Amino acid sequence: MRKLLAATAVLLTVTTAAHAEVYPYICKTTDERGNTQMYTAKLDLDRNTITWHGKVFRKLKQIDGCKANYRATASDGSTAEFCAATQGVADLTVNGVKFECNIIHD
């Protein structure tokens, strides 16, 4: 019985550790000519970060507002805010500029 309980505990630990809370999104941007471009953003709840255009915003905190709303700050002081209103759809605001995003499903 002890072996069964130990095996179950190990299995739960491995399974829980393998489940990362990382949410990849594709976000729509428009350049100065009006051309639409798509870029990826990543909300990583395990590392407490938002990544946008290769820039990592750290010290992720959940804030009030949307269904799920997070704000993080980069080393240069710039901010990013992720506001998920419905499942799979979110707004990413970086230094006051808002982008429409959709979750990327595996």
**The pLDDT value given to residue 57:** 97
**The whole model's pTM is what?**
0.76
Q: What are the angstrom distances between the C-alpha of 74 and each of 49, 57, 60? A: 9, 4, 10
Domains and CATH numbers, the chain: 21-103 (2.40.128)
Q: Given this model, what pLDDT does residue 85 score?
A: 82
% of residues, the chain, pLDDT over 70? 82
| Segment 33-43 mean pLDDT | 95
Structure tokens at 8: 């179950």
Q: What pLDDT score does 49 carry?
A: 97
Rounded mean pLDDT of 9-35?
A: 72
User: What are the DSSP calls for 15-50, one per residue?
Assistant: HHHH---EEEEEEEEE-TTS-EEEEEEEEETTTTEE
